[in-house]
Structure 1
Amino acid sequence: MEQELEKRDEMAAGDGASGGFTKNKTLASILNVEMIRDKTGEEIAELWMKYYSTKDTISAVIPTQIYEMIFSRSKSCPMFLYALPQKEGYEFFVGQWSGHELHFSSLINVQMLGENAPSQLILYHYPDLQEEKGVVLMTAEMDPKFITVHQAQCLANQVQLFYGTRRQETYRLVETFNHQPADFKHMSVIAELEQSGLGPAVAPGGS
């Protein structure tokens, strides 16, 4: 199984698109979907996490119910402003959904380049097994010049925090950003992060 993953990984890397991101990254390009048909959602989750634990990237296994909520919300609220703790304060990133992909670009880039701002992190979600196995697999590609694995993990955790929450006040920030932008206060994102414990616990810099 692991050899199979390695082989496919190399093939996918071979056709990396410009900027190091893979175009049309399908689950079949990572996993032999036939080989895992007889495995349970837990076994697949374990294999997925174990495989990616050795890579310079992040991965997750999201229960179907949570992903369904995140995905349906992403359709009505495709964008949000995320705050990344830095040594001095926070840096803001705009996350924009495109189907099952979530593209992040720093707010500075978006302000300067608009639509043409390059993605610095992409989260890929694979709903292929959600009906049958009850899990949605996620992995990511990032531009290491701009973003570390630790920072990518922090942004991915925030997606669950804001889009996967059952707290209406938390999700209301996402709705406000998309539908009443004039009323949106970026400091409320920071307040929410600090309250959730995802805030200032920054890994030591200079990795």
Structure 2
Amino acid sequence: MKNKTLDSILNVDMVKQKKPEEIKQIWKQYFSGEDTVYAVIPGKTFDLMWKRAQHCPSFLFALPRKEGYEFFVGQWSGAELHFTSLINIQTQGEAATSQLILYHYPELQEDKGIVLMTAEMDSNFLNVPEAQCLASQVQLFYATDRQETYSLVETFNHQPDQFKYMSVITELEQSRLGQELRPQQDPSMPTA
């Protein structure tokens, strides 16, 4: 699915006649039956993410699992963001393949103020809620107003020896992102 253009997904000329709200509905409807992740990102949010991605093209994202967390390296390549599990990078090096790719389409940003996003994922590794959790973290870390949050991205890229994995988990837990991925404690069970 390389070089997936917006034109290959929808009729861009037709969509350009629509209002942003209508485009959002079309995008949502198009993917609603699909087993994938998609979003309509406000233009200003994407601008911030994009500017920061140029300065900091990779980051370590944490995905809640039954036992702890699994780490994924997110690597920007143009308007695509490739996620590869850290264990795969450690074991396969350069040959490690992406388990999730987010495609950002800024074609409508200037006229409509929105950027469309869709994804391609390896369903042997990730399900939709897990992929959604990773996709949401991109905004959490790259589009945040909190300098402390974004400084984790800067540290990972420019001072890797000072980067602390646990700070990503702390940030994730504070944001409450991915909480639905954790098995819930049965309230009738006594806790130790």
TM range (shorter): over 0.9
Among the aligned pairs, what percent are the same residue?
66
- What amino acid maps onto 1:45 in structure 2? K
Alignment of 1:52-201 (within 5 A): 52-201=31-180
- What amino acid maps onto 1:143 in structure 2? D
Classify the secondary structure of the residue corresponding to 1:31: coil
Q: CA deviation at 1:97?
A: 0.2
State how far apart, in whole Å, the 2-side matches of 1:137 and 1:115 are: 29
Classify the secondary structure of the residue corresponding to 2:141: helix
Q: CA deviation at 1:114?
A: 2.0
Q: In the alignment, does 2:8 pair up with 1:36? A: no
More displaced 10-residue stretch of structure 1: 150-159 or 41-50: 41-50
Gaps in structure 1 of 5+ consecutive residues: 1-21
Q: Deviations over 1:51-77 (max 9, x none)?
A: 111100010000000000001110110
Does the aligned pair in 2 maintain the 1:105–1:120 contact within 8 Å? Answer: yes
> TM-score, with normalisation over the residues of structure 2?
0.93
> TM-score, with normalisation over the residues of structure 1?
0.86
RMSD over aligned Cα atoms: 1.2
Classify the secondary structure of the residue corresponding to 1:119: coil
Does the aligned pair in 2 maintain the 1:93–1:105 contact within 8 Å? Answer: yes
Q: Deviations over 1:76-132 (max 9, x none)?
A: 100000000011110000000000000000000111222221011000000000000
State how far apart, in whole Å, the 1-side matches of 2:142 and 2:3 are: 24
Does the aligned pair in 2 maintain the 1:59–1:140 contact within 8 Å? Answer: yes
State how far apart, in whole Å, the 2-side matches of 1:76 and 1:64 are: 19
State how far apart, in whole Å, the 2-side matches of 1:75 and 1:97 are: 8
Greater relative CO, 1 or 2 (CA 8 Å, sep 6+): 2
More displaced 10-residue stretch of structure 1: 40-49 or 185-194: 40-49
Does the aligned pair in 1 maintain the 2:142–2:150 contact within 8 Å? Answer: yes
Alignment of 1:2-17 (within 5 A): none
Q: How many residues end up aligned between the 2 structures?
A: 184
Classify the secondary structure of the residue corresponding to 2:40: strand
Distance 1:199-1:34 versus aligned 2 partners, 3 A rule: closer
Does the aligned pair in 2 maintain the 1:40–1:133 contact within 8 Å? Answer: yes
